[in-house]
Structure 1
């Protein structure tokens, strides 16, 4: 344990020497504030600037309503999951079927990573699904009932190598 404590203290002193270098690298990196949406556009010039910021045409850009939920100038995009997009297009990130810098839906973590087609409808109605369930479970139950025996099973004789010989006993062995 003492060796671990010494190595941690040595690491702490080494990082103090290189702290300005580490701090410089951290300040150069992107941080969460870089991706925060700006304020809600109030003028046409702000609206055009926000559309350019997200790589959209001004006529295609529509921000979320300013209702206090904090979306700011982020564009209101349709829900399009990865499965709904063209599978033959050459994407920068083929597993998500999206390109670098492409704006995504505000709830991308819900809609983008799963493989759900949101325009998909079930081929069966709930009543049909219930009918299938009842038929399958009822059929299995009927088969189990019909194939169940009377409960009187044949017993085979015990497998003892030599009949008439005692193989074990719980009595104390006689000392001879």
Structure 2
């Protein structure tokens, strides 16, 4: 009986450290891979360079004033992108032309090969005037369409004019397909006076 109880309890608790994913590997801790604070002195700068696998003379953190890319002590990889890489090199990831363990630029998503501009080197051309033009390209047609639909003028532009079905002088439906429609005249109105 006790062995049956031990088997049932053991089957409930079968998870081990191997099932925990990357945390089970020796030396892999998320706290070691998160960007830390921006290095203030030379010792912190050297420690950050070693943390990211760079030589201290090659390490340059992203500028604190760059509000778009700044991420603590993460290094500035520069304009490394898909187009400037050798297409004939044997990469670990051929689609993105990257190797395993390589430093990832902060704006990697802008330089992917499936983007409209794959260079990623052109300057940000976003201005408030450009944003206003983009908004007006949507808002003005919407306003025009809503005006045309809500115009109370009965003779104004309409998507479909309110008209009655066309009145024919002959009954084409009765004559279809082989008879002459002149045998079936339709008298819609008459100008003879009533007797």
From the CA coordinates, give the structure whose radius of gyration is larger: 2
TM-score (normalised: structure 2) = 0.45
Q: Which has the higher helix share?
A: 1
Which structure's relative contact order is higher, taking Cα pairs within 8 Å and 6+ residues apart?
1
